[in-house]
A and B are shown apart, each in its own frame.
Chain A
Amino acid sequence: MDVSGVLEAHKQKFKSIAVEGKLIPVQYDLGLLAAFDENPVDTAELNRNKDEYLQALSRDNAQLLFNEIFQLQTISDDNGVMAMLPTPTTLLPREKPLPKPKPETRWEKFAKAKGIVNRKKERMVYDDASGEYKPRWGYKAINDDGTKDWIIEVPAGANPMEDQYGARREAKKERIDKNDKRRQRNMEEAAVATKMDQKAVNKGDRPNMDNVRSMKRREIENQILISKSSTASAGKFDASIKGDLKPKGIKRQFESTITDMSKEKAGNMSILDRVVGKNGEDLVNVRKAIKSTKSRH
């Protein structure tokens, strides 16, 4: 039985999805759902009936774009049929620069060198004493550090009157303080490291510790110098201490006697411009000048 006639008749009932008259094939960027039709626009038609022409042109291109999109691989989920899009080919600028790699902490650096990999631990652990799951740390945590034991044996050689609970609490507090100090140190080092060598950090290198220390040292020295000159006499009458820091003077720099003429001219012109030129107005505070001349008279 020949059904081609029936199929053809069925097809005739609907408008076609084929688009004709595209000399240059239309380009697509399916990642952005975009079509680029480089065929020249029919100027005469555009001038005659603009809106109809634009709509017809857009319809044809939309048809072509949809033909492409509907031929992509699809999956169906709760949102209906989804077409898998390729990555966009048109490059669009970012909003912000690439994120900088975070400076490593001392522990991270050590772990990396030793090949230690963090293993995830469960947040909840089984507590034998109460027979239920409790958080590993924090509020209502399991008794992991022995501060919640109901009885503690006095260690050999210890003072029997000493509060063992207090000792354990103290020990825990010390551990926390120590960790906090290290955290602080890591933060300082990270701050210095990022300030120090942006290029090295961008590349992912960690600047070496000697540089960090010298940087920190320089910062502290600067602060000492500032504090020294912060007395009423700007540090003039302070007793000097042996081996104390001395402020480094500003080195004067001289231009060489023979230089580029144009540079010299530009420098002189800029001075002249500031004094007598258009921008010279800002140089004199007129109100203040009047006031001072008045008071002199």
Chain B
Amino acid sequence: MIDPISVFLLLLSASTPILFAALGELVVERAGVLNLGVEGMMIAGALAGFAAAYASGNPFLGFLVAALAGATISMLFALLTQVFLANQVASGLALTLFGLGLAAMFGKPFEGVRAPPMPMGPLRINWIVWLGLAMVPAIWWFLNRSRAGLILRGVGENHDAAHALGYGVRATRAAAVAFGGAMAGIGGAFISIATVLQWTEGMTAGAGWIALAIVVFSRWTAPGVLAGAWLFGGVTVLQLRLQAAGVDVPVQLLSMAPYLATILVLVLISARQKFSRHAGGAAPGSLGINFHALR
């Protein structure tokens, strides 16, 4: 009936924006920072990337600019939380509000025009989709095998200990936030440059919030993020695909399922850690807590 390969191909591109944003947020959270401003950074990337691609005619330059824009706007969050020690949850929400407004304000001149076509990569799959897939092992390697990744995780698990060992907690976190912003920017630009080929206000339509859920589902691992992006993207693609084939599906109930699955995963990993002292897969120890060195 339904060809699984066609569903998988749809899934690959459908999950790309949330994959990028969630991979970025993964690194941010592993450094102990909870940035709820993903949606704001995505929309900033969507606009800046589209504008650059449109002006230059080169979609890849668009993605580069999108990464820069996402990283730049994320520095507002880094400034608030790392320098001014403001609450991370409130600052992230403010960043989302600010990013959505800013993009809408500067987006006026780019309405109604079209982005240049995106050249296809191998297997007629977009280059950026390939890049997203390549980022999964790269980030896994960075977090688990590289020295910088080790420091980053140390900062996220226990910032006091990391500080005592002489590592720069705030600089590490600011760098992680910037990386998260860049990745969210690319994710947002994928929607404007590769999916819609136009700029429209509010076009990310909540993808940033889904990315936050995926990071939890992933148990804070890069392969887990890929699985989560495919689960969340897959439920949407599959239900649309079933509908197209004329199958009656309970859309609202089905769309709740990934979130319930995420809660279940979270409970299972928390329980395993609580009852068996079997560490791994739990939230970073210092997640969401600001660091201030007394000396």
A binds B: no
- A→B interface (CB under 8 Å): none
- B→A interface (CB under 8 Å): none
